[in-house]
Structure 1
Amino acid sequence: MRAERNGHSAARSAALAADPRNGSTPAAAPARVVDLDAAERAAADLLAALGAESDSAHLRETPRRVAQAYAELLTPVPFNATTFPNQEGYDELVLVRDIPFQSLCAHHLLPFYGTAHVAYLPGERIIGLSKLGRVVDLFARDLQLQERLTTQVADWLERRLHPRGVGVIVQAEHLCMSLRGVQKPGALTVTSALRGIVKDDSRTRQEFLSLVAQGR
């Protein structure tokens, strides 16, 4: 069991050490080290504090499962963000719409999930379409605020591609709003981050918003 945990932690640390979240491919970033043994003990203490019957057959392995689940949810998956010269001189928006994602609310440790719409206006470099989805996942695997997730994706694209413009819209349901507190299931939070021409030029901004809205 301990060897499995140590292996999991080592793999996680290695993945974080090669983390491209700062715009490089891959790049060093501060590693979050997960102590699965300590996390399991903390989960067991939480269950006990909540009055759960820890000797129940259904709860006996729950602390271990909780620790491993959070470690997985908080482990970003590194990737090679290869860019290419814009040899065709493409100068219109590139948009990938309805990218599904899930993340964890930094305030309550409850999930929030939804879709992201990511666009950029190419300059001299372009990037593979699948990488726009990977960038969303890269930042979603963290204890997050939706506002920060949105700006992180936009800033990463700016740093990596130096495009003429960037547009990111994120729509998500937060379980901390759906299951507790105000208890409004189905309510969506929408955040946006606009950069360059997409922000400054009203026609380009409207084109981006119209493309996102198509099919709705």
Structure 2
Amino acid sequence: MKREDASKHLAAYLQAMGLRLPEGELATCAERTAELFASRIRSLHEPLPTVSTFPAPASGGAVKVEDVGFYSLCAHHLVPFFGTVELLYVPSERVIGFGGIARAVDYFSRRPQLQEGFTEELAGFFDSLVSPLGLEVRVCARQLCVELHGHGTQTRYTTTARRGEL
């Protein structure tokens, strides 16, 4: 990824839209925006972080992790959608380390995508990691593309993906 090229093309786009970049607050807009976008799509260029698993306790109870925050980019408009992820699963033989859950959510959020796909991707990843008896991933997010169009201001959209039986 060549950030300088991205910055140059972004500057040309902004100027074509009528913005005067060399002036005042916009002087470094293209460079800063290119840097920000590079950080928001970095999972396309980096390996998956380590996610540890551990032997499941004999109790057989469910594991629920709530309010794992994330920021992602809408694949249709390249503007943010953001919110929280909830993971509920019934372990079979292994449990997922709590820190690994947060790292996985952050990793999978750093790419342009639709919320529905993000939800399914997380469910598939966690399912393949520990093969639980049942699993549900719930993503609740605000979609800035909808809000910027003037529809559904501050509405939260929820998507779910399930595997097995809970």
More strand by share: 2
2:97 is aligned with 1:128: yes
- Output the TM-score relative to the length of structure 2: 0.92
1:168–1:194 Cα contact (<8 Å) kept: yes
Residue in 1 that maps onto 2:30: 63
1:118 counterpart SS class: strand
Residue in 2 that maps onto 1:140: 109
Residues of 2 paired with 1:42 and 1:195: CA distance? 43
2:51–2:101 Cα contact (<8 Å) kept: no
Q: Name which of 37, 41, 61 aligns with 1:74.
A: 41
Q: Name which of 106, 119, 122 aligns with 1:153.
A: 122
2:152 counterpart SS class: coil
Residues of 1 paired with 2:42 and 2:25: CA distance? 26
Equivalent AA in structure 1 for residue 163 of structure 2 = R
Matches within 5 A, 1:1-216: 34-76=1-43, 78-86=48-56, 88-180=57-149, 182-198=150-166
| Bigger shift: residues 93-102 or 182-191 | 182-191
User: How far did 1:57 drift?
Assistant: 2.3
2:34 counterpart SS class: helix
Give deviations 1:69-101, integer Å, cap 9, x for gaps: 100111137422121122x32312101111111
Residues of 2 paired with 1:184 and 1:167: CA distance? 26
1:90–1:122 Cα contact (<8 Å) kept: no
Long gaps (5+) in structure 1 = 1-33, 199-216
CA RMSD of aligned residues (A): 1.3
- Output the TM-score relative to the length of structure 1: 0.72
Long gaps (5+) in structure 2 = none
Residues of 1 paired with 2:4 and 2:89: CA distance? 43
1:113–1:172 Cα contact (<8 Å) kept: yes
1:116–1:170 Cα contact (<8 Å) kept: yes
Residues of 2 paired with 1:109 and 1:44: CA distance? 17
| Bigger shift: residues 149-158 or 119-128 | 119-128
The alignment covers a number of residue pairs equal to 163
2:6 counterpart SS class: helix
1:191 counterpart SS class: strand
Residues of 1 paired with 2:76 and 2:7: CA distance? 20
Structure 2 vs 1, CA of residues 90 and 61 (structure 1 numbering), >3 Å: closer, same or farther? same
Higher relative contact order (CA 8 A, sep 6+): 2
